[in-house]
Amino acid sequence: MGTTTGRRRPRLRFARVELKARLLLPSIRRSVAEQARHLRSLGEPQAQRLGEALERIASDHLSPDARAALERVEAARRATLRSLERVSWADGSTESVAWICALASQPPSGARLLHHLAAVWQPRQALELGTCVGVSAAYQAVALRTGTLTTLEAYPALADRAEDTWRLAQIDNARVVVGRFADTLAPTLAEAAWDYAFIDGNHQGRATEGYVEQVSRSAAPGALLALDDIDYNDGMRAAWDSVRQRPDVAASAVVGKIGLLALR
């Protein structure tokens, strides 16, 4: 009885997270549509482009090929949620990989927002900070016609699980770099001019501002930065208020708990 309950708990947690996200979607889409109209009215090219991305989110249209690819990602997620494996995680502890997946991965509705952003922006070089088990990376990688996605993960066991996710989902344009952001971000940024970044994995305001500064300095003109959990705590709210006023930001928007910065 106890084992069965333990197996179901991550799936129950995931179902609750996704239900909450789905309940918020109507209000998010109304807000997104309003922001899109405002951005379209500004006439600034980057504001227009960001408005196009928001319109795509509001419509939530997927091609048959994209729908099939994302279903493969969700099949890989379901396999992870059934896993009994335990891996090393925060503070040297061990945790169920299924529980980590349920707790820390983007739910399908949130991951689709990222998919639409990447689909409109079509970066040649996309970056993600915080891989977990590779679900959000997969959603973004599916959207790229010719680009590649590099994602940074501190925990080797989770990086291995991410590669399993991509293998099951038949994704071949994503790679993971293992190590602390303090050690991996600078050398990764030096590899290319990044034109898209999803910043996740450290929900501290000062750290987030530092990541935005680092990525912006190395970004290609017209890059898009997406910041997760901008309402997570007071520090994150203050960080968002600060970074959206940076002089290199041409336009900004908020989609649920994700803040978007379109750079000049």
- pTM, whole model, 2 decimals? 0.93
Asked whether the beta carbons of 124 and 56 are under 8 A apart, the reply is: no
C-alpha distances in Å from residue 262, one per residue of 123, 158, 249, 251: 13, 30, 6, 5
Look at residues 157, 180, 170 and name the one whose alpha carbon lies nearest to residue 94: 157
H/E element, 177: strand 174-178
H/E element, 82: none
CATH 3.40.50.150 fits 2-263, yes or no: yes
The encoded tokens of residue 231 equal 């309402």
Asked whether the beta carbons of 102 and 11 are under 8 A apart, the reply is: yes
| pLDDT score recorded for residue 4 | 41
Mean pLDDT by 10 residues, the chain (264 residues): 54 86 87 95 94 94 96 97 91 90 93 96 97 98 97 96 97 97 97 96 91 96 97 96 97 96 97
The encoded tokens of residue 74 equal 């969700």
Residue with tokens 């899109």: 36
Q: Find all residues with CB under 8 Å of 209, minimum gap 6, and list them.
A: 239, 242, 243
Rounded Cα distance between 249 and 245, Å, is 7
Map out the domains of the chain as residue ranges.
Answer: 2-263
| pLDDT score recorded for residue 8 | 61
Q: Find all residues with CB under 8 Å of 208, minimum gap 6, and list them.
A: 199, 202, 227, 236, 239, 243
